[in-house]
Amino acid sequence: MKDPPQLRLKLKPSRLAAASIAAGVIATAVLVAWLPVDWLWRMAICLAVGAYGVWLLRSRAHAATVHSIVAVEVAVDLRGAFIERSGTRVEGRVQPESFVSAMLTTIVLRADGERRSRAVVILPDSLAAEDFRRLRVVLRLGRLPAEDAR
């Protein structure tokens, strides 16, 4: 039986990711503002948290930086690729640490020959409903080739 073709999906900016990041940054800044330290330290830490939040919004929620992942490819044999905005293609094997649910999917990919893995979070508003469903099916039911399963 012939395997289906590799699934190629282009990711859209996510409002859910932006709202989650903003809520986390605001909550962190509020907690830092209550720390029992000098006001100058609290202000500096809050500014650093805010700058990190802006970077997270640009790189993760809006995929506007050079290294942001803008497309994902996954095959039934759990080989995959992340494509960055710069055009760089990172190919490797989807790791078992990937998570699949109705509202959240994370793909953990270890590039060939690398020691570190990369991950991308995919929320329902990042893809069309049918593409999100197909991605979840491939990740849940994907299988290793016979020679890799040993």
Give the Cα-Cα-Cα angle 110, 17, 62 (nearest 5 degrees). 80
Claim to verify: residue 40 and residue 88 sit in the same structural domain = no
Residue 62 above 90 pLDDT? yes
Place of tokens 């859209």: 12
Taking residues 5-14, what's their average pLDDT?
Answer: 92
Asked whether residue 147 carries a pLDDT value surpassing 70, the answer given is no
The answer to whether residue 134 is domain-embedded is yes
In the structure encoding, which two tokens stand for residue 26, read together?
């605001």
CB 90 within 8 A of CB 112: no
Domain interval for residue 78:
7-12+67-141
135 within some domain: yes
Instruction: Give the pair of three-digit tokens for residue 55.
Output: 């970077």
Whether residue 72 sits in one domain with residue 136? yes
Distances (CA, A) of 13 to 116, 123, 133: 25, 10, 18
Give the mean pLDDT of 44-67: 95
Q: Is residue 1 part of a domain?
A: no
Considering its fold, how many domains does the chain have in total?
2
Q: Write out pLDDT tens, residues 97-145.
A: 999 999 999 999 999 889 999 999 999 999 999 999 999 999 998 876 6
pLDDT at 100: 95
Residue pLDDT, tens place only, 71-97: 999 999 999 999 999 999 999 999 999
pLDDT band (50, 70, 90) for residue 6: confident
Cα-trace Rg, the chain: 18
Query: For residue 150, what pLDDT is reported?
Result: 47
Domain membership of residue 147 (yes or no) is no
Would you state the pLDDT for residue 148?
A: 53
